[in-house]
Amino acid sequence: PEECAVFHCRGCWTVLGDSLQLCGQEPPGLSVLICFKVTSDVTFEDSLLVGLEGALLGCTYYLLSCRSCGSAVGFILNSSGSDLAYLRDLFCFFKSSIVCYFLKNQMIIEASKVNFPAVTLKE
pLDDT tens per residue across span 54-98:
899 999 999 999 999 999 999 999 999 888 998 999 999 999 999
Say if 119 falls within a structural domain: no
Domain span at residue 11?
Answer: 5-113
The reply to whether 49 falls in a domain is yes
Phi, then psi, of 5 in degrees rounded to 5: -140, 155
Alpha-carbon span 33 to 16, nearest angstrom:
12
What's the domain count of the chain? 1
In this structure, is residue 26 part of a structural domain? yes
Closest CA to 83 of 28, 24, 33: 28
Structure confidence by residue, pLDDT tens digits, 27-45:
888 999 999 999 999 999 8
Examine residue 64 and state whether it is found in any structural domain, yes or no: yes
- Whether 63 maps to a domain, the answer reads yes
Strands (E), 3-57: 5-9, 15-18, 32-35, 42-44, 49-50
Tell me whether residue 29 is in a domain. yes
Q: Give the CATH number of the domain where residue 108 resides.
A: 2.170.150.20
Q: Identify whether 102 is part of a domain.
A: yes
Full-model pTM: 0.89
